[in-house]
Amino acid sequence: MLYIIGLGLGDEKDITLRGLEAVKKCQKVYVEAYTSLLSFGLSSDGLSTLEKLYGKPVTLADRETVEEKIDDVLLEAREADVAFLVVGDPFGATTHTDLVVRAKKLEVDVKVIHNASVMNAIGVCGLQLYRYGETVSIPFFTETWRPDSFYEKIQRNRKLGLHTLCLLDIRVKEPSLESLCRGKKQYEPPRYMTIKTAIEQLLEVEQIRGESAYNEDTSCVGLARLGSEDQMVVAGSMKQLLLVDFGSPLHCLVIVGETHPVEEEMLGFYTLGEK
Amino acid sequence: MLYIIGLGLGDEKDITLRGLEAVKKCQKVYVEAYTSLLSFGLSSDGLSTLEKLYGKPVTLADRETVEEKIDDVLLEAREADVAFLVVGDPFGATTHTDLVVRAKKLEVDVKVIHNASVMNAIGVCGLQLYRYGETVSIPFFTETWRPDSFYEKIQRNRKLGLHTLCLLDIRVKEPSLESLCRGKKQYEPPRYMTIKTAIEQLLEVEQIRGESAYNEDTSCVGLARLGSEDQMVVAGSMKQLLLVDFGSPLHCLVIVGETHPVEEEMLGFYTLGEK
């Protein structure tokens, strides 16, 4: 049996009792580091926090494992109980649908244990979840690669009065260009997009496209470390949020659509200078 | 301090470790029964399952408490640690934004502990969460009240190739018409909309509006008891799903938009007759 278990957003204590029970009975435990494990005590002191809680060793499944060696994990799961831990929900922002498809093809039984993800925890800012349109991703721009398909989506959402959740790029274990040339694996340091960078890119695209999908006075909410003890939520215009230091990652951004009175009141609590 | 704690979707074991820790240190624990507590051992044998896990009494906050007496709960939370438990996530399908606003106005500190909700757990059917448009609610039609504002929303989502999550009506503790006339509180038995009823209402509205937003051959996914041990997921046309017995509540429905290959593969696992 393969258990795909959501860890939630904050730290090791955000696992559910059901999830912890499953981990305890598994013979092998993997934790996926493809996306982000910032607050789970993994970045510097290894896997100690999770291993202490679970009482057993945990294997880090990095990008390479997930992309190239996942069938080995699945074959193990045919013979034994294997846990595959994922930050957030197994089907949250980064999806594991492909993993389930491969498991089913190999006739491995799969059980999913859900948890909070950015897709619902974003509700904390007070904007109603059913008033969001399509979610967009903002990728890091490079000199030569500046994809802006998010622009039409934001434009469409705003025309309909809907809010837009912007997921900001995460680059973990990206092979360096140099290492690709040399055929030797070396990785770039991890990069997490800040709200500032996201807004700069958004405004750059607006300037080029010029269709007034939004502008620097458009109302937004910036959220950092959502679901953690030290989460930060600030509402303000794009221009205002550019000046806010949101601190360490992860960041995300909501572009506000039309608001109802209760939504307004909640945003008021997070608005710069008003409280 | 007021702790608003998500219980998740399945049963009492879906609370997080962080949530359980908070409950244990609270002097008073309320659980909201406004929406649904079907699988939390509350419908017949009282609060025993939760109380046993928490090791303390739990007070049921019914619709009346939530609508009329919530300020009493908030005043308690000024003096002591109070837990307010909610099925799913505190900001999931049914929102508790208003509760937070009232708490902040009364200067009660609020801490939110997130969990899975239908808004992210729906990912289990294989359709990517960022490919959903606006969520719609399907209310029970009555002889005289047949609101169909969901129709334009579904139409819009489908034009954009987006999936639509349909949340189906729940009627718990509705005062009976008779009791309203007599000025004495008596309640209708709880009602939970089935996928069958939802599809019948959807097709009725399509027949009246006639704008081909969808039809009986439109691809859908029906989900019952999402996140529970006995959850059921079936993909098929509206016509096909009408014939499926999804069993006990809660039900929800996804109207499928344009699909990518991985989404197709996942739906294949849930498609009637194919597997």
- How many residues can be counted in chain B? 275
What are the tens digits of pLDDT across the range A138-184? 999 999 999 999 999 999 999 999 999 999 998 876 666 666 666 66
Q: Which residues pair with A253 in a beta bridge?
A: A166, A222
Domain presence at residue B56: yes
pLDDT at B19: 98
**Last-in-domain residue among A116, A134, A153:** A116
Contact residues, chain A, for B55 at CB < 8 Å: none
Tell me the H-state helices in chain A. 17-25, 48-54, 63-68, 70-79, 97-105, 118-121, 150-159, 177-182, 195-209, 238-241, 261-270
pLDDT at A275: 41
pLDDT at A91: 87
Q: pLDDT tier at B16 (50, 70, 90 boundaries)? A: very high
Residue of B209, B104, B234, B103 lying closest to B154 (CA atoms): B209
Question: Mean pLDDT, chain A, as a whole number?
Answer: 89
What are the tens digits of pLDDT across the range B159-217? 999 999 999 998 876 666 666 666 666 777 889 999 999 999 999 999 999 999 999 99
How many structural domains is chain B composed of?
2
A258 CB near a chain B CB, below 8 Å? no
ipTM score: 0.90
CATH code of the domain covering residue B124 = 3.30.950.10
Domain presence at residue B87: yes
pLDDT at A60: 85
Domain presence at residue B67: yes
- B89/A116 CB distance under 8 A: yes
A41 CB near a chain B CB, below 8 Å? no
Number of Cβ atoms within 10 Å of the Cβ of A162:
23
Question: Are B133 and B251 members of one domain?
Answer: yes
Residue of A1, A16, A10 lying closest to A84 (CA atoms): A1
One-letter amino acid for residue B130 of the chain: Y
Domain presence at residue A22: yes
Question: Are B140 and B221 members of one domain?
Answer: yes
Domain presence at residue A275: no
A101 CB near a chain B CB, below 8 Å? yes
Question: Are A167 and A194 members of one domain?
Answer: yes
Question: Are A200 and A93 members of one domain?
Answer: no
Contact residues, chain B, for A120 at CB < 8 Å: 89, 91-92, 114, 116-117, 119-120
CATH code of the domain covering residue A84 = 3.40.1010.10
- A263/B90 CB distance under 8 A: no
Is A29 within 8 Å of B37 (Cβ atoms)? no
Contact residues, chain B, for A95 at CB < 8 Å: 123, 128-129
- B130/A130 CB distance under 8 A: no
Q: pLDDT tier at B49 (50, 70, 90 boundaries)? A: confident
- B89/A120 CB distance under 8 A: yes
Number of Cβ atoms within 10 Å of the Cβ of B206:
21
Number of Cβ atoms within 10 Å of the Cβ of A207:
9
- What is the spatial distance between Cα B16 and Cα B5, in angstroms, rounded to a whole number? 9
Percent of chain B with pLDDT over 90: 72
What are the tens digits of pLDDT across the range A200-234? 999 999 999 999 999 999 999 999 999 988 999 99
Contact residues, chain A, for B21 at CB < 8 Å: 13
Range of the domain at B93: 2-116
- Give, in degrees to the nearest 5, the angle at Cα A225 between B21 and A203: 155
pLDDT at A189: 81
**Last-in-domain residue among A82, A116, A150:** A116
- A130/B131 CB distance under 8 A: no
**Last-in-domain residue among B116, B132, B149:** B116
Q: Chain B closest CA to A65's CA: distance in Å?
A: 20
- A18/B14 CB distance under 8 A: yes
Domain presence at residue B149: yes
Question: Are B234 and B186 members of one domain?
Answer: yes
Which of A38-42, A159-163, A271-275 bottoms out in mean pLDDT, i.e. has the lowest?
A38-42
| CA-to-CA dists, residue B18 to B7, B15, B26, B113, angstroms | 11, 8, 13, 7
Question: Are B134 and B234 members of one domain?
Answer: yes
Contact residues, chain A, for B167 at CB < 8 Å: 130
pLDDT at B245: 97
- What is the spatial distance between Cα A219 and Cα A193, in angstroms, rounded to a whole number? 20
- B100/A266 CB distance under 8 A: yes
Question: Are A174 and A77 members of one domain?
Answer: no
Query: Which residues 56-95 of A have a C-beta within 8 angstroms of B?
Result: 89-93, 95
- A119/B120 CB distance under 8 A: yes
Q: pLDDT tier at A10 (50, 70, 90 boundaries)? A: confident
Contact residues, chain B, for A92 at CB < 8 Å: 120, 123, 129
Examine the pLDDT at A57 and tell me if it is beyond 50: yes
Q: Is B225 helix (H, G, I), strand (E, B) or coil?
A: coil
Question: Are A109 and A238 members of one domain?
Answer: no
Question: Are B180 and B132 members of one domain?
Answer: yes
Residue of B187, B130, B257 lying closest to A94 (CA atoms): B130
Domain presence at residue B107: yes
Question: Are B233 and B111 members of one domain?
Answer: no
Question: Are B145 and B168 members of one domain?
Answer: yes
Of A101, A117, A160, the CB nearest to B120: A117
Query: Residues B147-151: what's their mean pLDDT?
Result: 96
Examine the pLDDT at A43 and tell me if it is beyond 60: no
pLDDT at B275: 41
Domain presence at residue A159: yes
Question: Are B168 and B189 members of one domain?
Answer: yes
Helices H, strands E: what count in chain A?
11, 12
Written as one string, the DSSP assignment of A82-125 is EEEEESB-TTSSS--HHHHHHHHHTT--EEEE----HHHHGGGG
